[in-house]
């Protein structure tokens, strides 16, 4: 099986997109990832599942079990 931890560590201090189980997407700079793969973003912006922008949230912590996928922002 593929270990995602090295990929996530490589994204630290880069802009990422995080989608959670309920369809919302968060974009921001990946600040840190802990051993449980909880994710901390700075300058985070939230987009609702219907595509509506919900604005800037700033610092957010996303619990690991809510994450559906993570991608580098192009």
Residue 4: which pLDDT band, with cuts at 50, 70 and 90?
confident
Judge whether residue 2 has pLDDT over 90: no
| Structural domain count, the chain | 1
More confident: 5 or 66: 66
Note the pLDDT tens digit of each residue in 5-63. 889 999 999 999 999 999 999 999 999 999 999 999 999 999 999 989 999 999 999 99
As a whole number of angstroms, the distance between CA 34 and CA 48 comes to 26
For 12, the domain range is 4-72
Q: DSSP for 45-66, please give it.
A: EEE-TTS-EEEEEEEEEE-GGG
Residue 1: which pLDDT band, with cuts at 50, 70 and 90?
confident
Give the per-residue pLDDT at 49. 92
Give the domain CATH number at 49: 2.30.30.100
């Amino acid at each position: 099986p593929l270990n995602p931890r090295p990929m996530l560590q490589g994204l630290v201090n880069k802009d990422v997109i995080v989608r959670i189980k309920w369809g919302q997407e968060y974009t921001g700079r990946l600040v840190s990832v802990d051993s449980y793969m909880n994710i901390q973003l700075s300058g985070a912006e939230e987009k609702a599942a219907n595509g509506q922008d919900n604005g800037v949230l700033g610092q957010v912590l996303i619990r690991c079990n809510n994450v559906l996928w993570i991608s580098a922002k192009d």
